[in-house]
Structure formats: C-alpha cells, structure tokens
Amino acid sequence: MNRWNLPLNQPVSLTETRISGKERMLILAILLITLAARLYYVYTSPDLQLSHDEIGYHEMTLQFLDKGFLGYYSDRPSAFVTPGYPLFLAAVYLAAGAVNTDPLTAVRIIQAIISVGSVFLVYLIARKSGGIPAGTLAAILAAVYLPAFMANNRILTEVLYVFMLLGYVYTVINAFEKSNLRWHALSGVLMALAVLVRPSVAPFMVVPYIITWFYRHRFRVSTEGRRVIVGFLITLLSFSVIMTPWWVRNLMVFDKFIVFATQSGNPLLRGTDPYDPYDREGPSIIEGIPESEMTRVAVERIKLGFKEEPGLWLQWFTVGKLSYMWGKPWGYLSGWAVTMHFWIFIVLGWPATLINIFDRKMRWPALLILFTTVLHLVFIPITRYMYPMTPLMAIMTATLIVKIAGKILDTDYLSS
C-alpha cells in the first residue's frame, strides 16, 4: 500500500453503511427542521425582483413552453446556456399551471425541498470519514448557512446544481471504495446532470481516475489498473448517454458539434478587467464586442496584460480574484452569514481542505473545491460561483473538527 492508499475495492465498515434507528431519528429531525425553516423563509420573505440571469432563465422557459425552442435572451434557438435548469423550470411551471399556482412560488418551494436533499447528502458524505458526529456537524453547518435560504428564492441554477454535484461526489467516493461498477455508471449520470445545469465542472470527471491510476498503479498493466480504466469508460459512457440528446440537438440546429454551451467567452472577457470586473469604473469591458469574438479578445487582453503589467495581472489572477470569490458570502451580508463564512469556510475550511486531500474518503470533494476555485480564477470572480462549494466546505470543516476532537479525547469517532 503506497502513501496515497487508493484501492478501488476497499471494504467498507459497518459504521459507514448501516444506519441505526437512533441515527435515522437524528438526521430526520435535522432535515425536518431545515425544511420547516426554509419553507418559512420562502413564504415570509419578500419576493426578489428578477434580474439579469433570472430574467434570462424565466423568459427562456416561457419561450420554450410557448414556441418549443431554447433561446437565452434570444428569439431564436441558441446554445448560450445548457438546458438543465430551463427544462427544470418548464416542468415546474407546467405543474404549477395545472394546479393554478404561481410558477415562481412553486419553483421556490421545490428548490427549498431540493436544498434539504442537499443537506442530507452533506451528512452522508461527511459521515464516510468522520462517522455520525462529522455527518451531524456538517449537516447542521449546511442547514444554518443563510445564503442557502436566499438561494431557494432565486431563479438561478445554484440549488439544483448543488444537489446534482453533491450526488456526484457521494457516488464517486463509493465508486472508488466498492467493486460494483454501477457506482461508476451512476457517477457519470450525475456528472452529466450537473453539467447540463452548469458545465464548468465537466473536466473534473477525469481527475479521480487519472490520480488513482497514476499514484496507485504508476501506469502499470495490472488487474486493478484495468479496473480503473473500465470504471472510467463506464463513467464516460453513462455521461455520454445523458448528454447525447443535447449534442444531437445542437448538431441538428447549428450544424456543428457543441459540447456544452457557448457562453464561456463572456465571463472570460469580464475577468480581464483587473479590480473592476463589475464595470464600476468606466464602460463595460464587453461593450460592443460580439459574442463570437469574446474569447479571442479575452485571450489577447490576457497576453497583453501579462506582457505590459505582469505584476498587476499576476496579482489579479491570484490573490485579487480569490478575495473577490471567497472574501464574503454570496448575496447575504448579515453579521451571522459573514462571520460563519469567514470562520467556517475560510479560516477552518481551507486548511481542512488541504489536509483532507490525504484522507482517502475526503480526497475527491477536497480536490473538487481546489479544482473549481483554480478554474474560476480564469473567469470573472463572483461569489455566486463559489457558493456551490460551501456545502463541501462544511464537510471539510466538520470532518477536521471531529478528527481533532477524536485525537484529543482519544476516542474512535467512527464508532459513534
């Protein structure tokens, strides 16, 4: 066994798989309280005015239901965004119409329910490494994080994306613990569903397989090495099956293969305006630039910036963007939200993430946080982009706290 300790067929202890009656009651109580609190927030908070992306998704959905095509801020078919969230909205709007309910209220209620499912997945993931104490602490941290309440009221991708992403994380951990290849297939399905909501996570799908194959097998031909390859091929196949309708649609409509979406040029270009990504000073960086040219212009600006002002641009693409992305919580600046965000997801969360890379069961969620953060350093730095990582940060912090407590108290937290 090498220092990475990454077997595919690792047996799982009963403390991870068997849930007792007392544990069921505990997590059920947490979930019911979370659901009640989030539904209360939906019904008592004032409706937020739709803006920017919310208007785009809402109008896109109405247009799809009326005219039968998907076009984001467009009166003709487009592939500017992936179709997962608009199709989700369309299904909710249809159901709301059938029972004569306001569609936006229905979306907010459904999203509140989905967000409770995310808290449950947080529990299951944290429990794998830190037992019931870590699962409970992580679930509570995810449940009380105030931006999660606000997210349910927004007509945006976050709530649905977080649920799919956590589902993927849970299945990919199981895929590398158990010999049953169905976990690999399921991880591919959930990755595809997450990508259809927000595509930026897609490249991460290969990361667990590359790391496992290299550090465990050093690219040698072996039975376990072949199992890694087979697992990846099954994951890729199931991913492709879910993505195929979108690929076929794009090929038929645009006569070219579009893997995910065409919107990447916009956030890439917006990220090339050091310390003014939101156009607070001067005109917008994207003003007058066609969508088809945004990526090219962005690359040229980055090359020129690093050539003429390397210090400024290096600072902007590292600590500058990190401060924008992680410096405060998304959309909710109450004292409690800011304090929790700082202490749980920055002061404790980041060291816990780096430490958990060396925990076999927490390695993939820890690497996903790092991957997502580094990837978004290229684009416009928005707190909203980092919000989906906060449930994973709750897991990182909770598992570290429980492990430290176990060492101090000399107890076996996995037997709790």
- Cα dist. 207→170, 203, 232 in Å? 15, 8, 10
**In-domain check, residue 204:** no
The answer to the question of residue 225 being in a domain is no
The SS3 assignment for 124 reads: helix
Prediction pTM value: 0.91
How many CB atoms are closer than 10 A to CB 18?
Answer: 8
Is there a domain that residue 206 lies in? no
Confidence of residue 100 (pLDDT cuts 50, 70, 90): very high
User: In angstroms, rounded to a whole number, what is the distance separating the alpha carbons of residues 344 and 323?
Assistant: 16
Percent of the chain residues topping a pLDDT of 70:
92
Residue 262: other Cβ atoms inside 10 A = 18
Binned at pLDDT 50, 70 and 90, residue 5 comes out as very low
Through-space distance between the first and last CA atoms of the chain, rounded to whole angstroms: 27
pLDDT for residue 217: 60
What amino acid occupies position 302?
A: I
Work out how many domains the chain is built from and give that number. Answer: 1
Tell whether 236 is covered by a domain: no
Q: 116-156 pLDDT, tens per residue?
A: 999 999 999 999 999 999 999 999 999 999 999 999 999 99
Alpha helices in 309-362 (DSSP H): 310-315, 321-326, 335-342, 349-356
Do the Cβ atoms of 326 and 345 come closer than 8 Å? Answer: yes
DSSP 260-272: S-STTHHHHHHTT
**CA dist., res. 45 & res. 109, Å (int):** 13
Q: Which pLDDT score, from 0 to 100, does residue 2 have?
A: 39
How high does pLDDT run on average in the chain?
90
Mind listing the pLDDT tens digit for each residue in 225-249? 788 899 999 999 999 999 999 999 9
The answer to whether the CB of 202 falls within 8 A of the CB of 191 is yes
The range of the structural domain enclosing residue 156 comes to: 17-177+246-259+308-415
pLDDT beyond 60 at 15? no
Distance, in Å, from the CA atom of 212 to the CA atom of 197, rounded to the nearest integer, reads 27
90 neighbors 195 (Cβ within 8 angstroms): no
Distant-in-sequence, close-in-space partners of 148: CB < 8 Å, separation ≥ 6: 38, 115, 142, 390
Could you tell me if residue 296 is inside a domain? no
For residue range 299-318, list pLDDT tens digits in order.
999 999 999 999 999 999 99
Q: CB count, 10 Å around CB of 201?
A: 20
Higher-pLDDT residue of 266, 111: 111
Residue 82 has pLDDT above 70, yes or no: yes
Q: What are the tokens at 242?
A: 């879910």
Tell whether 162 is covered by a domain: yes
Residue 150 lies in a domain: yes
Q: For residue range 45-62, list pLDDT tens digits in order.
A: 987 789 889 999 999 999
pLDDT at 19: 76
% of the chain beyond a pLDDT of 90: 75
In a domain, 194, yes or no: no
∠ CA 253-187-17, nearest 5°, is: 155
**Of 254-258, 273-277, 348-352, which one has max mean pLDDT?**
348-352
What pLDDT, on the 0 to 100 scale, is given for residue 379? 93
Of 64-73, 96-105, 330-339, which gets the smallest average pLDDT?
Answer: 330-339
Give, as one character, the DSSP assignment of residue 387. G
